[in-house]
Structure 1
Amino acid sequence: MRKAKRVLAVAVALTMGLTMAGCKGGTADVSTEPVSTEEAAGEVSGENMIQNGDFSDGLTNWMIYTNGGVAEQLVTADGEMEIKVSDPGTLDYAIQPYYDGFSLDSGCEYQYSFDVHSTVERTLQWRLQLNGGDYHAYVSDIITINEETQHVTCTFKMEEASDPAPRLCINMGMVEGCPDDLGAHSVYFDNFELYLTDDSGRTDSGSTVETADINVNQIGYLPKEEKKAVVRSADGSEVSGSFDVVDQTGKTVYTGELQDAKENKASGEQTAIADFTEVTEAGTYKIVTENYGESFSFEIGDDIYDAVSDSTLRMFYLQRCGTEVQDDTFGHAACHTGGAIAYGSTSSAFTEVLGGWHDAGDYGRYVVAGAKAAADLMLAYEAYGDQFGDDTGIPESGNGTPDILDEVKYELDWMLQMQDTESGGVYHKITGENFPDAVMPEEETAQMYLAPISTTATADFAATMAMASRVFKDDAATQVYLDAAKKAWAYLEATPGDGVGFKNPDSIVTGEYDDTNDTDERYWALAELYKTTGDETYLNALKEYSADKIGTGLGWQNVGLYGMYAYLTSGSSDDYYDSVKAQFDQAVDAAYANAQADAYGVALGSSDYTWGSNMNVANNGMLFLMANRLEANPDYVKAANAQVDYLMGTNTNSYCFITGFGTLSPVSPHHRPSQSVGQTMSGMLIGGPDANLEDPYAKATLADKAPAACYVDNVQSYSCNEVTIYWNSPLVYLLAGVEAE
């Protein structure tokens, strides 16, 4: 129920179409008038879609975003939301209170309203908008407010596709029409209401994705590998019966019985396995059943992974910073060339920090993320160098050096610039203060900042540079890399971990890559330094770490397995070797047990479907191959192939999670270049299912899904559909490994 306010009962009405400047996206009537002392007559029946719109439950469901502005979000004794502005910033969205948790259906009509007043006269912009991509408004208006409470009402029709997770927000920065000398003040809001008034025009948004009940590797299978499809029942009944493998001519080339019927916990469905390993002849096929339909088509052949392998590696070139990128679709001029300021420095001097890879869907460059990515590529080359050519279409192609090494060197040369020349410590990252809009990289012109030195960045840097000195042993830079690694280690010796780790400074809101424990990073650095140099000083320091305290990860936050693998391949053999090998094997065994237990063969438990779960799948595939190199085991190679199958379509979502490949692959990644040009960059491994539902779109659409099914292909779902260099990097290793083995 709207709370009455005692104000002047003088009405001022404004009506305009959404095609005018103030309101965009369809047709609407907007009214702004002082609130009377009486309840509004003829209130729309139905349920208010804005929960706690009267702030009777404090600020529950309400949040505030700032981007250069300073404000406090409060609830007054009168039950109004107060936005107490200290500094309005410079952007229109510098201060933005917002609400998530409603939907807008295509073809439906709505009435939106709220009350507002301010201690000063100013403008603000209210918006119901897309919560991702270009964040365009479905309906919006710029209004002038003052001390008199106004009741703002808008009736509109949703003309665009249905949106299950839009955002209600108020831009309260320096909105068009605000006085230049706008200082500290407060703005008060109350009685937010959104009602569906007419659903007779509701239309199908076309957002339903057709999936298969027989899931296969949509790119295909190597003739020598184990080949399995997963069949599920749409009605939850036990899966049984036979299946056929049918070629392009319609000829059945193999018939088999479905096996291992069971309920698959992580995906919440009844499944069975169609094993067609005996089919080895090159060709295009599909799986056909009487009761469960047919699969997407797939190929069998020796070269089926050539194109996807090249594309996943070329993604790194397309993510290059500080240079002209040559590509018909994603090419751009040199970006981020203006120099950086060390955060907190009193000097106005700029530091030139050029190159490297843009980390993910944004344009930040982060040492801990880049170190993992570079390490994965170097490990791939060390293990499977013959798989990498000199012809993937980068500027260095044809220079006689495998393109994977040219690409890694581009990142390494940037990382060298991130090391402080005096102390040897390494700056954590270089970004703007805020994430950029959905623009191409050269259009992000904000000032770049070097975030403070961190011990995790320094240790990852030391490990990667020591590895680089070994991998590039015939390159003139080999000594440069080794000297940088040693200098970084000297910094670490003088700088103990503080148990807090890197935290974003005030005003910087880009990716934090926080890590409170740098033990595993230090361990990795020592292991790589020892493996490269053979200096027992590093070995003795390494042995001070108990193997069971290092952690067993191949991610950016836990790098323990990198250190263990470096040590286990260094030629040592003693009791300490045995203890490290035991911990390494324990990690392999745990991943393998998960793969054996899951119908889809994926090495994840039900609780492992978190942000970037596909990285963990690729990491585990990489881990199986590393284990096989330490001690040959064909079961590990089969498990590695199963991780490839999962990523390429043998999963409950029926998606090939690598953009541009397979019958059904993501087309709406959270990736600014793809958003900017309106076309999806190929060769990117997207994040995948995240059962924690860590963005509003996921919360709105996936709340009733099983963990493995918590995936949606939408640009708004950054927790499911972003991409990063360090998700692609283990995939590069994995693809090279399964082809070589």
Structure 2
Amino acid sequence: MKRIFILWIFTFLCFSRSIAQENPTIRINLGGYPSDMPKQALLLSDQKLRKPILVLKNSSGESIKEFQGDLHEQAWHPFSHYYSFDFSEVSTAGSYYLESKDGKIKSQTFQIGPYPAWQEDVVSFIRTQRCGFNPFTGEFCHQLDGLSFFGIRPDSTRIDATGGWHDAGDQLKYLITSSNTTARLLMAYQMDPDGYMDQVNARGLPGQNQIPDILDEAKWGLEWILKLHPSPNELYHQVADDRDHRGFKLPHEENADYGWGPNSFRPAYFATGEPQGLSQYKSQATGIANLAGRSAATLALGYEVFSQIEGYEVFAQSCLKSAHTLYEMGKKQEGYQQGNSFGAPYRYEENTWADDMEWAAAKLYKVTKKPEFLEDARRYGDLIAAWSWMERDSASHYEMYPYVNMGHYALWQVGNEEDKQKMVNYYEQNLEKIQARANQNPYGVGHLFIWCSNNLAAAVATQAMLYEEMTGSRKYRPLLQNHVNWLLGLNPWSSSMITEIPEKADTPVDVHMPFWKILNKSVKGSLVDGPLWSTIHQQMLGITPSKPDEYAHLQPLHIKYLDDWADYSTNEPTLDGSAELLLILKYLSLE
């Protein structure tokens, strides 16, 4: 008993020491701050400090200016006092750090200036998710995707659903997320057509092919959407299901058995607009307009981009033709289709659709100038209005997806002044809801801590960015930057939420990903799921941490984040979550 007591005392002292080493402590954006954006740091302490001052110093140790902290009324466990330091007035590019006047507390070094081209790393991560041929492993996989179910063809009819991307650490493929991922790639390219690298060919292997890598990846996504729409009245929305979840495996070593043996056929689910499921858990569905509309919008974007590139005109026309037929499918079956599960209650629970049809109608109007598309876009825009997860205090998994209403942005681009003002008002109503929540915590963030919360943080930043483009107003720049700050380390754990970004900082390492778990290889540029409300985290099925929590002394009571491969709910990189970063990272990298 004495030996146990001594061990307990030793453990307590070590734990106390870890807190002492972190207290007081400075939180910064580890990736730095663009020159013309707001700049904030936090000082966290377990006791009240008298007029705390931090000195901004350059890389040579020269003092630039002193800044006094403002005490926040709100505090998150385990620290009782939070002080914010605003140094937005400093805009000269360079390396800096913050230090207390007595030199006892010092931040990590950070940069002021444009962000590096991290969007290229995100594109590289998306490439590692390729199915069919995976350039990361150099192996072919899932060559028998898939067999049709619930469709107009007899069940188990072979269709070509090869290609696309694996969704996350698993190897399912969803039109729900892949359509949005493809669209983000195309939109990011349109932001700066001359600003992307060409280092890989169409297969994703080293070698130039005269189009940027971001378009190689977008074309990969477009081709898969076209495969899932093989005729004017057919649309498939998912390949495989959670029978996939049989431990970590490399894509070409598939061990899941869907009834035809491992590494064999996988089901391809037809979008019927009705509830689906082969076992206990059934999806909900009222139509297919979310999938048909979003896919049509994405294909219209594909036409916009590839019709301008010599040699891709025929491909562009095939995109436009399918965009039209998909849009008609959506009009005939307004409503939403959700993801399918087999043995667990988890699925993509998207339950909005008018935003996707608005997006498609606006894009089709842009390329055809047919007035009926503009009228449709207005009607769908009024149907969805300001409805968004941003209006809610909680939401289900992927409810009201995508997390930014791109239909409103697309209608703003092509509409008249009345349309433009209405779309601005919808965005502003959402952002005001986020701002109200952000005002209630020292980090200045207002997204929800539901599953894939980091996607929501990125979405807030993106919507604030688009609002600024639409209005010219910088009203939400602090909100934009605070959510970027959160993702890049100005958070309770002082850890970025993007693998290996920024370089030489604390970033997710022990991720829920087969390339890490099997090959011990980290892939740069992936956004992990992010922190969850503790009440949700403790109810997630099958999570048993594999090691002691390195952030145990920093965890707030109400949210949890673990850098542990066993925690699929907070530390799994996702395809569409990473794509959610593309627009904002590109924007922040521009001079």
TM-score where L is the length of structure 2: 0.80
**267 and 312 in structure 1: CA distance in 2 versus 1, 3 angstrom threshold:** farther
Deviations 1:497-530 (A, max 9, x none): 3x7x43637x475963233443333333223322
Mapped contact 1:712–1:720 kept (Cα < 8 A): yes
Output the CA distance in 1 between the equivalents of 2:88 and 2:68.
13
1:565 equivalent in alignment to 2:409: yes
Match of 2:44 in 1: 232
The yes-or-no answer on 1:659 pairing with 2:499 is: yes
Query: For 1:625 and 1:439, how far apart are their aligned partners in 2?
Result: 39
Paired AA for residue 63 in structure 2? T
Aligned to 1:471: 305
Matching of residue 542 in structure 1 with residue 377 in structure 2: yes
Q: Distance in 2 between matches of 1:369 and 1:248?
A: 42
Letter in 1 for 2:213: D
- Give the whole-Å Cα distance in 2 for the aligned partners of 1:238 and 1:352: 65
Alpha-carbon contact 1:434-1:508 (below 8 Å) kept: no
- Aligned positions of 1:17-28 closer than 5 A: none
In structure 2, the residue corresponding to 1:315 is in which secondary structure? helix
Change (3 A) 1:653 1:293: farther
Check 1:739–1:440 CA distance in 2 against 1; reply closer, same or farther (3 A cut). Answer: same
SS at match of 2:193: helix
Whichever of the two has the greater Rg, that structure is 1
Shift of 1:465: 1.2
Contact 1:239 1:261 in 2 (8 A): no
Q: What is the match of residue 522 of structure 1?
A: 357
The offset of 1:278, in angstroms, is: 4.4
Distance (Å, rounded) in 2 between the aligned partners of 1:438 and 1:610: 25
Q: 1:595 to 1:366 in 2, by over 3 A?
A: same
CA distance in structure 1 between the partners assigned to 2:183 and 2:164 by the alignment: 14
Which SS does the other structure have where 1:254 is aligned? strand
Find the aligned partners of 1:278 and 1:581 in 2 and give their Cα distance.
29
In 1, the alpha carbon distance for the partners of 2:468 and 2:511 equals 34
One-letter amino acid matched to 2:43: V
- Residues 696 and 417 of structure 1: CA distance in aligned 2, closer, same or farther (over 3 Å): closer
Report the Cα offset of residue 246 of structure 1. Answer: 3.5
User: Which AA in structure 2 matches 1:473?
Assistant: S
Q: Could you report, residue by residue, the CA deviation over 1:424-445 in whole angstroms, capped at 9, with x for unpaired residues?
A: 4343444574324201111112
Query: Is residue 733 of structure 1 aligned with residue 575 of structure 2?
Result: no
Deviations 1:345-378 (A, max 9, x none): 6465422222212111111110011111122222
Of 376, 381, 384 in structure 1, the residue corresponding to residue 189 of structure 2 is 381
Distance 1:683 1:414 in 2: 23
Q: Tell me the matched-pair count.
A: 533
Which residue in 2 is equivalent to 1:309? 119
Cα separation, 2, equivalents of 1:246 and 1:697: 47
Ranges in structure 2 where 5+ consecutive residues have no aligned partner? 255-262, 274-287, 391-397
Question: What is the aligned counterpart of 1:438 among 248, 251, 259?
Answer: 248
Task: Identify the residue that residue 609 of structure 1 maps to in structure 2.
Answer: 449
1:339 equivalent to 2:339? Answer no
What does residue 495 of structure 1 align with?
333
1:686 aligns with 2:528: yes
Match of 1:669 among 490, 498, 511: 511
Paired letter, 1:469: Y
Counterpart residue identity of residue 375, structure 1: A
> 1:524/1:295 Cα in 2 relative to 1: closer, same or farther (>3 Å)?
farther
Partner of 2:88: 277
One-letter code of the match for 2:515?
A: P
Residues 447/431 of structure 1: CA separation in 2 closer, same or farther (3 Å cut): farther
Name the residue aligned to 1:152.
Answer: none
Residue aligned with 2:454, SS = helix
Q: Deviations over 1:165-186 (max 9, x none)?
A: xxxxxxxxxxxxxxxxxxxxxx
Does 1 or 2 have the higher relative contact order (CA < 8 Å, sep 6+)?
2
Q: Which stretch of structure 1 is more off in the superposition, 672-681 or 392-401?
A: 392-401
| SS of corresponding position for 2:132 | coil
Percent identical residues: 21
Query: Pick from 174, 192, 208: which aligns with 1:398?
Result: 208
Rounded to whole Å, the distance in 1 between the matches of 2:480 and 2:211 is 28
The CA distance in 2 between the partners of 1:434 and 1:299, in whole Å, is 42
For 1:720, what is the secondary structure of its paired residue? Answer: coil
- The reply to whether residue 297 of structure 1 matches residue 108 of structure 2 is yes
The verdict on how the C-alpha distance between 1:660 and 1:544 changes in structure 2, with shifts beyond 3 A counting, is closer
Q: Within 2, Cα distance between the matches of 1:667 and 1:513? A: 26
Other structure's SS at 1:245 match: strand
Higher alpha-carbon deviation: 480-489 or 709-718: 709-718
The aligned counterpart of 2:177 is 369
In 2, are the aligned partners of 1:624 and 1:637 still within 8 Å (CA)? yes
Deviation at 1:396, TM superposition (A): 7.0
Change (3 A) 1:443 1:573: same
Q: Structure 1 counterpart of 2:467, which letter? A: A
> How far apart are residue 466 of structure 1 and its match?
1.8
2: CA distance between counterparts of 1:359 and 1:426?
16
Shift of 1:728: 1.0
Q: Kindly indicate whether residue 442 of structure 2 is the aligned counterpart of residue 599 of structure 1.
A: yes
2:433 counterpart letter in structure 1: A
TM-score, normalised by the number of residues in structure 1: 0.65
- Equivalent residue in structure 1 for 2:426, among 564, 577, 583: 583
Measured after TM superposition, the shift of residue 650 of structure 1 is 0.9
Asked if 1:222 is matched to 2:34, the reply is yes
Answer whether contact 1:216 1:298 (CA < 8 A) is retained.
no
Cα distance in 2 for residues equivalent to 1:660 and 1:257: 32
In 2: Cα distance, 1:592 partner to 1:354 partner: 43
Please give the secondary structure, in 2, of the residue aligned with 1:483.
Answer: helix
2:540 paired residue number: 695
Distance 1:599 1:463 in 2: 38
What residue number does 1:90 align with?
Answer: none
Look up the match of 1:241: 52
Distance 1:392 1:240 in 2: 54
Tell whether 2:551 aligns with 1:716: no
> 1:429, 1:355 → 2: CA distance?
10
Q: Which letter maps to 2:328?
A: A
Matching residue of 1:288: 99
Correspondence list, 1:134-283, <5 A: 213-233=25-45, 235-237=46-48, 240-264=51-75, 269-283=80-94
What code does the residue aligned with 1:262 have? E
Letter in 2 for 1:668: D
1:278–1:443 Cα change, 3 Å: same
2:304 and 2:42 mapped to 1: Cα distance?
43
Partner of 1:116: none
3-state DSSP of counterpart to 2:140: coil
Match of 1:321 in 2: 131
> Match of 1:447?
265
- Secondary structure of 1:385's counterpart equals coil
Q: Secondary structure at the match of 1:634?
A: coil
Cα distance change, pair 304–740 in 1 and its aligned pair in 2 (3 A): closer
Q: Is this contact kept in 2: 1:223–1:300, CA < 8 A?
A: no
Q: Which moved more, 1:296-305 or 1:642-651?
A: 296-305
Q: CA deviation at 1:615?
A: 0.8
How far does residue 220 in structure 1 lie from its aligned partner after superposition?
Answer: 2.2
Q: What is the letter of the counterpart of residue 512 of structure 1?
A: R
RMSD over aligned CA atoms reads 3.5
For 2:366, which of 526, 531, 537 is the aligned residue? 531
SS at match of 2:192: helix
The aligned counterpart of 2:388 is 552
- Tell me: CA distance 1:503–1:601, structure 2 relative to 1, closer, same or farther (3 Å): closer
The question of 1:419 aligning with 2:229 is answered: yes
**CA distance in 2: counterparts of 1:423 and 1:600, whole angstroms:** 49
Report the CA distance shift for 1:387/1:628 in structure 2 as closer, same or farther (over 3 A).
Answer: farther
